Amino acid sequence: MHIAEGFLPAPHALGWTLVAAPFVVHGARCVVKEVREHPESTLLLGAAGAFTFVLSAIKLPSVTGSSSHPTGTGLGAVLFRPPVMALLGTIVLLFQALLLAHGGLTTLGANAFSMAVVGPWVGYGAYRLVKRCGGGLLPAVFGAMALSDLATYVTTALQLALAFPDAESGFLGAAAKFLGVFAVTQVPLAIGEGLLGVLLFRVLTVNARPELVRLGVLRPDPERAEP
């Protein structure tokens, strides 16, 4: 769920762009450093961006009868860490605005803050927390993907409430309205995205173990280690 072009008043559009900018610039610095040290990372990071974009083309059957698509930033945060996701997420949002007419240019800052900053950080936090509490990889991935999706939607609803407070009940009333309206599609989607993450990682831990070890998601398995 992205805020469409022109929907936010100019001061809000500018404000959210300024709020998101430090995170995206920090992400860009991380990517520039990474690429300088390992030029081959350009291709891997590009592939990660393309995958995040393509993930939004996977339709998940939703409880409400419609189908919705995952945001994929929780997965990206687990695999590539949130700072990198801040940049990749923003690139993906720009592509979605210009290739799919999802989102917009003046609302890019607001959308980047919810989807590329808050979502990945909340997802990554949930992932680390579950793992620290002794949960396995799959519960941690479920938490990361479901909560990053939920956090993105809650942030978007709050951004809209801040821009359009209710005439009578103010910001809180507006927040309740927007959270309620979008909950119909977003809460089932968050659970669906969490489930998708679990199914995805079950396949990855079998088929792409070396990659997961290299990314630091899995520890090297001494029994399987090559001599």
Partner 1 sequence: MTGLAVDDAAWVSAWRLRSPADKLLLSVGLVLCALLLPVWPGSLLVGLTAVVLALGPARVPARTFGRAVRVPLAFIALGALTTVVQVGSGGFGWAPDAAARAGGLVGHAVAGSAAVLLLATTTPMSDLLPALARLRVPAAVIEVASVTYRMLFVLLTSLSTIREAQTARMGHSGVRASYRSSGMLAAAVLTRSWDRARRLQDGLAGRGMEAGLRVLPEALPSSRRFVAGTVAGLAALAAVSVVA
**Looking only at residues 112 through 171 of this chain, which bind partner 1 when binding is defined by CB under 8 A?**
160, 164, 166-169
60, two tokens: 């998940």
Residue 43 neighbours by CB distance under 10 Å: 9
- Determine, following the binding rule CB under 8 A, whether residue 26 of this chain makes contact with partner 1: no
Task: Give whichever of 51 and 129 is closer to partner 1, judged by the CB atom.
Answer: 51
Q: Pick one of 19, 21, 28, 218: the residue that binds partner 1 (CB under 8 A).
A: 28
Strands 60-61 and 67-68: antiparallel
Task: Give whichever of 132 and 224 is closer to partner 1, judged by the CB atom.
Answer: 224
Q: Pick one of 16, 23, 53, 153: the residue that binds partner 1 (CB under 8 A).
A: 53
The interface mask with partner 1, positions 196-225, x = CB under 8 A, is: x-xxx-xxx--xx--x--------------
Task: Give whichever of 158 and 195 is closer to partner 1, judged by the CB atom.
Answer: 195
- Determine, following the binding rule CB under 8 A, whether residue 54 of this chain makes contact with partner 1: yes
What residue type is 157 in one-letter code?
Answer: A
Task: Give whichever of 33 and 220 is closer to partner 1, judged by the CB atom.
Answer: 33
Phi, psi (degrees; rounded to nearest 5) at 61: -65, 130
Residues 6+ apart with CB under 8 A from 43: none
Q: Pick one of 19, 21, 60, 162: the residue that binds partner 1 (CB under 8 A).
A: 60
Q: 216: phi > 0 → left, psi -120 to 50 → alpha, else beta; which?
A: left
Q: How far is the CB of 52 from partner 1 (least distance, A)?
A: 9
Q: Pick one of 18, 22, 64, 100: the residue that binds partner 1 (CB under 8 A).
A: 100
Q: Pick one of 64, 171, 181, 220: the residue that binds partner 1 (CB under 8 A).
A: 181
Question: Stretches 15-23, 44-52, 109-117, 147-155: which one binds partner 1 (CB under 8 A)?
Answer: 44-52
- Determine, following the binding rule CB under 8 A, whether residue 45 of this chain makes contact with partner 1: yes
30, two tokens: 């991380």
In the region spanning residues 69 to 88, those forming contacts with partner 1, defined by CB under 8 A, are 87-88
